[in-house]
Chain A
Amino acid sequence: MIPKLIDNVIIGLNMNIFKPIMLTLLLLQAKSSICNESSLTVAVSANVKYAFEDLAAEFTKETGVPVKSVVSSSGKLTAQVKSGAPYDVFLSADMKYPEALYKDGLAVSEPKVYASGMLVLWSARDVDLSKGVAGMADGTIKRVAIPNPKLAPYGREAIKTLDYYKVRASVEPKLVYGESISQVNQYIDSKSVDVGFTAKSVVLSPELQGKGKWVEVPAESYEPIAQGLVMLRHGQAENGDATRKFYGFVLSDKARAIFAKYGYKLP
């Protein structure tokens, strides 16, 4: 009905050149107003990206509500939310950022741990990973990528494990800092570095499974990364029903099974 209406208006105005443009604009507007009613926008930390695809698919199957994701590092997503980005729910890589949002009143639920991230060493080059983290001190390894420890919890924990194995002094000169887990993966996958610290969820993802080789970093050498979930103010205000449903879903048994599949430790 709407296109017909538009047609009438346009023919009436007799503006042939503008017709396609106006039609597009009106359709876009119509589309976006539909989306606002029943779809969900979730801010997703880079390490959760792979598990999230399964999560979103399952949620949409259950409820019929489509889910859009914005994937980035937790720090960037937090800055975006602070500047008014229209996200409904936030799956962070740690607890610090959701807590900051909660304190500012931009998140409306207390941060809850939905999964704990595990570290792995991953390499696409021909290097020896059998000695694990201690082996990073070896002379054959020249470049080691980690997420920036100042910004990314996975980087912070990677530094802890270097301390634990007392190889930090010899490995530090080899370190290359990715701005997020994603850039570390890119450095490893393009073989620009010999090896890198990344999330277990990455190497278990269907996209990257079987690429190169990886070993688990023993859990006693660092603190598994507690990842926080919050409902955002925008979601509660604009999209309350779907937001609450999705929030509950992320903490449900079905979601837990998905997180477990991707190598997360569960709370």
Chain B
Amino acid sequence: MIIDWQPLILTFKLAAVTTAILLCIGVPFAWWLANTRIRLKPAVEALVSMPLVLPPSVLGFYLLLAFSPEYWFGAWLDREAGIRLAFSFEGLVVASVIFSFPFLVHPVQAAFQNLPRSLTDAARVLGKSSLQTFMHVLLPNIKPALMSGTVLGFAHTVGEFGVVLMIGGNLPNETRVASIAIYDEAEALNYAAANFYAGVLFFLSFIILLAVYMINRRAQK
């Protein structure tokens, strides 16, 4: 059997890019959510958590319409930037960021909320700017939550299937990730190849989750 590594490489590339973006926008967002007093907070929290309960096909369906160059968002992107997100790696990244957002935001937000308020106050009194306080005082104190949020966001992107099936178009090296390749090979009755990809994902998912639980245990000690 000739093994095509492309779907696996693509899967981990997608997960890595998604996780990097998640960290850049998810962590500040989680901090804001932990500290905000706006009345809409429950609504914002509900919105962030939606991907946890929505069937991926719902998200896939709306993204398919949103990315289509016939509807306003897709048309606007196409016109202004010449970007078509449907059936592209970039489109998958956008979808994955939305889909994995709560997996990073939840643990990080909870950790921020558990930090004593006096930590921030002390840093500010000692003359640190709010950015310095955030980077050098708050973040180091929520390291375990950051780690598990990152790992969960990464793992969840690796495991994504429904959304990719609906908006990916199964393009080799572009959107044909491992979960899609399994589906494809199984349908072609090519069980050996499906078994290979499935086995790799099975094994890696276990390792990733094992890492999360080990981090958590160490943090509790």
Give residues in A with beta carbon < 8 Å to B.
73, 75-76, 78-79, 82, 100, 124-125, 142-143, 145, 148, 150-151, 175-179, 186-187, 190-193
- In the complex the two chains form, is B70's CB within 8 Å of A125's CB? yes
Q: Does B165 interact with chain A (Cβ within 8 Å)?
A: yes
Known: A191-B69, A192-B67, A192-B87. A177 touches B189 (CB 8 A): no
- In the complex the two chains form, is A151's CB within 8 Å of B187's CB? yes
- In the complex the two chains form, is A75's CB within 8 Å of B188's CB? yes
Bound-complex Cα distance A193 to B87 (A): 9
- In the complex the two chains form, is A75's CB within 8 Å of B70's CB? no
The 8 A CB mask of B159-184 against A (1 = contact, 0 = none) is: 00000010001110000000000011
Q: Does B186 interact with chain A (Cβ within 8 Å)?
A: yes
- In the complex the two chains form, is A79's CB within 8 Å of B170's CB? no
- In the complex the two chains form, is A76's CB within 8 Å of B187's CB? yes
Range of interface residues on B (Cβ < 8 Å): 20 to 34
Q: Which residue of A lies closest to B176 (CB)?
A: A177
Q: Does B64 interact with chain A (Cβ within 8 Å)?
A: yes
Q: Does B123 interact with chain A (Cβ within 8 Å)?
A: no
Bound-complex Cα distance A17 to B84 (A): 56
B65 to chain A, nearest CB (A): 6
Residues in B56-74 with C-beta less than 8 Å from chain A:
64-65, 67-71
Q: Does B86 interact with chain A (Cβ within 8 Å)?
A: yes
- In the complex the two chains form, is B171's CB within 8 Å of A176's CB? yes
Which one of B64, B165, B170, B186 contacts A192 once the chains associate, using CB atoms below 8 Å? B64
Bound-complex Cα distance A177 to B118 (A): 56
Question: A179-B165, A190-B68, A192-B69 given. 8 additional CB < 8 A pairs?
Answer: A75-B187, A78-B189, A143-B84, A143-B87, A175-B171, A176-B169, A179-B187, A191-B70
Bound-complex Cα distance A73 to B170 (A): 16
The 8 A CB mask of B180-198 against A (1 = contact, 0 = none) is: 0001101111000000000
- In the complex the two chains form, is B64's CB within 8 Å of A179's CB? no
Bound-complex Cα distance A121 to B99 (A): 34
Q: Which residue of B lies closest to A150 (CB)?
A: B188
Bound-complex Cα distance A209 to B216 (A): 58
* Chain A residues, Cβ within 8 Å of B67: 192
Q: Which residue of B lies closest to A145 (CB)?
A: B169
Bound-complex Cα distance A145 to B67 (A): 15
- In the complex the two chains form, is A177's CB within 8 Å of B64's CB? no
- In the complex the two chains form, is B170's CB within 8 Å of A177's CB? yes
For this complex, 27 residue pairs linking A to B, each with C-beta atoms less than 8 Å apart, are: A73-B187, A75-B187, A75-B188, A76-B187, A79-B186, A79-B187, A79-B189, A82-B189, A100-B189, A125-B70, A143-B84, A143-B87, A145-B169, A148-B170, A151-B184, A151-B187, A176-B87, A176-B171, A177-B170, A177-B171, A178-B170, A187-B169, A190-B68, A191-B68, A192-B64, A192-B86, A193-B86
